[in-house]
Chains A and B, each alone.
Chain A
């Protein structure tokens, strides 16, 4: 479970995030929807502890990310917006590196890699160097890297960016599988359809604030709009930056 409580962050004069609170539950997919620059990445970065909030708190499975950073992070897998690989290492070595830093070692590490390689369909390129991987292959390795320590919570920052239709479909199935395993999945997106199809719960962010936090269905009902798209547009107030 991931909890954000009254998170605020400002960069100079810009208030990037203002008093954001929400909960992402286990066994569910939570989507953060917002236009580019709405504060999604800043919010997620505070959740996985690479940014310090000016006020408020973020907890992973009840552990404060600022207080016990390492302990909280052991419960968390992160796929940041920029998920680059080491080009001179093979896919396996890329995953091994992160596994080793997560203190997964020995037989457990090899069996985890074998399992992730099968689930994510990486068998054909697992021993190849990452130089020249397609965007889809890169995302798979980065996801395996984030999941190597079998975390109960996964945070993904715009994971579908730059992926083709097939790769997006694959990713969607992977996220659903993670949810079925009872994990807490939290991802950000500016693509409405993606969120509508996948998420149990949606947190809509605009100008650094939470505009709505509800199930997809209840957002639609509350707004009285015919389609989900209409409902989202009403909540957002403007259409800028959302596709």
Chain B
């Protein structure tokens, strides 16, 4: 135990003096997620405001041919800008970005309209641009409702009940609760939290294994009358300590960011106060030794800093896989999934965010599975350190 704490103390101190470790473990790792998240949510906020509150702007060409339509659009609050454009000019304008969506009313519109034949209009938009696609969608809906109004009037004029033309009435019921909708967004958050956990220990895992070998201090260390398990244990403990600090910083940053970002405007409730942050910390805690053991185990096989970095970058992506599966198949918290580390933490945190009741058994199973796997990896790492090949 004495040796283990000596190794821990030395690794902790040495890395505290290393700028690279500090930047990645205590700055980039914990802050990248919250800042990115804040940025994403603010963007979504801006876009949804554009969608609902701002008046629709349309560039219209040949509006004189359809006075009824232009009157209808203006009555619906659409800001029309008249510009005489041919079809090819309109295409160029939309593609070049000088106009977002152009409505072209051809010369024959009036003639066909009075003849009760389908009167053509052209809606020019770029569907690859999410912003103009939304404008085009709104324009299409308005044009549709104008068309059905005219259709009903024509049927009525001919003595036919216009309701005959409406065989099905669709009523949508959206059951998403404010918190439920927020979860789609906050789902990113759980990955950022796990990412911060791993980033916190990344450089320590490399420095205490491949780094030790590259700098030539490993053989002297292995020649000491100290059990290899104590060496590995001390190194893992230091890695875990940095990971916990990174986790705490990341959660604190999230709490701060969510204070500033007005989630309520999106119809979501934030529900991430200091109390929830503490629960998150507890949920993620068993993931810490697992991440530390996994990174140390992988790094122990590498010959150099560079090689270790290459492999550990891949390890950073491992926790994304279960989370990605979870969102593709929209998995919900259930006991059978608690055996999968990173997925279980993701589901538990999501449940807490949704204000769902979390079963104590699920929490224990998640912790036990992560710690169990961590133990296996620790034993494998210690065993590898006892091998001659460790010398390299």
A237 to B82, CA, bound (A): 102
B267 interfacial by beta-carbon distance below 8 Å = no
Name the A residues within 8 Å of B222 (CB-CB).
Answer: 50
Q: How far is the CB of B293 from chain A (nearest CB, A)?
A: 22
Interface contact A71-B217, CB-CB below 8 Å:
no
Q: How far is the CB of A97 from chain B (nearest CB, A)?
A: 5
Interfacial residues of chain A within 54-98, with CB under 8 A of chain B in the complex = 69-74, 76, 78-89, 93, 97-98
Interface contact B391-A101, CB-CB below 8 Å:
no
Interface contact A78-B220, CB-CB below 8 Å:
yes
The 10 residue pairs across chains A and B that have the minimum distance between CB atoms: A84-B216, A82-B216, A70-B225, A73-B225, A80-B219, A84-B215, A78-B223, A88-B17, A84-B217, A100-B6
Q: A88-B14, A101-B226 are in contact. Are A45 and B391 (CB under 8 A)?
A: yes
> Which residue of chain B has its CB nearest to the CB of A98?
B224
Per-position 1/0 for A20-43, Cβ under 8 A of B: 000000000000000000000000
Interface contact B2-A103, CB-CB below 8 Å:
yes
Q: How far is the CB of B354 from chain A (nearest CB, A)?
A: 45
Cβ-defined partner of A145 (8 Å) among B17, B215, B219, B220 = B220
Name the B residues within 8 Å of A50 (CB-CB).
Answer: 219, 222-223, 388, 391
Name the B residues within 8 Å of A80 (CB-CB).
Answer: 216, 219-220, 223
Cβ-defined partner of B14 (8 Å) among A71, A83, A89, A100 = A89
Name the B residues within 8 Å of A70 (CB-CB).
Answer: 225-227
> Which residue of chain B has its CB nearest to the CB of A49?
B223
Name the B residues within 8 Å of A89 (CB-CB).
Answer: 10, 13-14, 17
Interfacial residues of chain A within 174-228, with CB under 8 A of chain B in the complex = none
Interface contact B224-A101, CB-CB below 8 Å:
yes
A5 interfacial by beta-carbon distance below 8 Å = no
> Which residue of chain B has its CB nearest to the CB of A74?
B225
Name the A residues within 8 Å of B220 (CB-CB).
Answer: 78-80, 83-84, 98, 142, 145-146
A232 interfacial by beta-carbon distance below 8 Å = no
Per-position 1/0 for B1-28, Cβ under 8 A of A: 0110011001001110110000000000
Q: A51-B388, A73-B225, A89-B14 are in contact. Are A81 and B219 (CB under 8 A)?
A: yes
Name the B residues within 8 Å of A49 (CB-CB).
Answer: 223
Name the B residues within 8 Å of A142 (CB-CB).
Answer: 220
Name the A residues within 8 Å of B221 (CB-CB).
Answer: 101
Per-position 1/0 for B130-156, Cβ under 8 A of A: 000000000000000000000000000
A110 interfacial by beta-carbon distance below 8 Å = no
Interface contact B216-A86, CB-CB below 8 Å:
no
Interface contact A86-B3, CB-CB below 8 Å:
no
A234 interfacial by beta-carbon distance below 8 Å = no
Name the B residues within 8 Å of A101 (CB-CB).
Answer: 3, 6-7, 221, 224-226
Interface contact B6-A69, CB-CB below 8 Å:
no
A98 to B319, CA, bound (A): 37
Q: How far is the CB of A239 from chain B (nearest CB, A)?
A: 30
Q: How far is the CB of B14 from chain A (nearest CB, A)?
A: 5
Total residues of chain A contacting the partner, CB 8 A: 36
Taking beta carbons and an 8 Å cutoff, which residues of B are in contact with A? 2-3, 6-7, 10, 13-15, 17-18, 215-227, 388, 391
Name the A residues within 8 Å of B224 (CB-CB).
Answer: 73, 98, 101-102
> Which residue of chain B has its CB nearest to the CB of A105?
B2
A49 to B227, CA, bound (A): 13
Q: How far is the CB of A14 from chain B (nearest CB, A)?
A: 14
Name the B residues within 8 Å of A79 (CB-CB).
Answer: 220
Interface contact A97-B10, CB-CB below 8 Å:
yes
Name the B residues within 8 Å of A97 (CB-CB).
Answer: 6, 10
> Which residue of chain B has its CB nearest to the CB of A103?
B2
Name the B residues within 8 Å of A86 (CB-CB).
Answer: 10, 14, 215, 217
Name the A residues within 8 Å of B17 (CB-CB).
Answer: 88-89, 129
Q: How far is the CB of B349 from chain A (nearest CB, A)?
A: 35
Interface contact A52-B223, CB-CB below 8 Å:
no
Name the B residues within 8 Å of A82 (CB-CB).
Answer: 216-219
Name the A residues within 8 Å of B18 (CB-CB).
Answer: 88
Name the A residues within 8 Å of B223 (CB-CB).
Answer: 48-50, 73, 76, 78, 80
Q: How far is the CB of A154 from chain B (nearest CB, A)?
A: 12
> Which residue of chain B has its CB nearest to the CB of A69?
B225
A70 to B391, CA, bound (A): 18
A48 to B224, CA, bound (A): 9
Q: How far is the CB of B319 from chain A (nearest CB, A)?
A: 30
A97 to B2, CA, bound (A): 12
What are 9 of the A-B contact pairs (CB < 8 Å)?
Answer: A50-B222, A50-B388, A73-B223, A84-B215, A84-B216, A86-B217, A97-B10, A142-B220, A146-B220
A51 to B392, CA, bound (A): 11
A72 to B6, CA, bound (A): 21
Q: How far is the CB of A71 from chain B (nearest CB, A)?
A: 7
A71 to B226, CA, bound (A): 10
> Which residue of chain B has its CB nearest to the CB of A77?
B223
**Given A83-B216, A84-B217, A97-B10, list of 19 further CB < 8 A pairs?**
A50-B219, A50-B223, A51-B388, A52-B388, A73-B223, A73-B224, A73-B225, A80-B223, A85-B215, A86-B14, A86-B215, A88-B14, A88-B15, A88-B18, A89-B14, A97-B6, A98-B220, A100-B2, A102-B224
A23 to B247, CA, bound (A): 56
Interface contact B215-A87, CB-CB below 8 Å:
yes
A142 to B215, CA, bound (A): 13
> Which residue of chain B has its CB nearest to the CB of A78?
B223
> Which residue of chain B has its CB nearest to the CB of A70?
B225
Name the B residues within 8 Å of A146 (CB-CB).
Answer: 220
Name the A residues within 8 Å of B217 (CB-CB).
Answer: 82-86
> Which residue of chain A has its CB nearest to the CB of B226?
A101
Q: How far is the CB of B228 from chain A (nearest CB, A)?
A: 10
Name the A residues within 8 Å of B227 (CB-CB).
Answer: 70
